[in-house]
Amino acid sequence: MANPLLPPAIAEIGLIVYRDIKAGSSKDNPVTYLPRPAQLLSVVIVYGTLGALPDRFARPAQLLGWGFVIATALNVFNPATVGNRVQNAALPATGK
């Protein structure tokens, strides 16, 4: 029997690669780039953990995996925007 988490994992990797290549094709950033290894490693860790669940949780794990794919496609959580909010925070005035 085929692993039910393989199709959502492949779709997740495809979306990550597409999003990173597409991000480089804008006017402000003309250089395209491939995803960082940590992005692909996170897919392996998340879907590997879901795959390690007992067989009775195979269907809920598959649904959760497809939920991650949908969240990535809708850009519900983009780690790049979270980091930018911290980096762009204004520093407090020293008062001197």
Q: Where are the domains of the chain?
A: 6-75
Per-residue model confidence as pLDDT tens for the chain (96 residues)? 568 899 999 999 999 888 888 776 666 666 677 788 888 899 999 999 999 999 999 999 999 999 999 998 998 766 555 555 544 455 555 655
Whole-Å CA distances, 52 to 47, 57, 94 = 9, 10, 52
Take residue 27 and report the two structure tokens written for it.
């006017």
Q: What is the pLDDT of residue 87?
A: 47
Q: What is the pLDDT of residue 10?
A: 94
Q: What is the pLDDT of residue 96?
A: 57
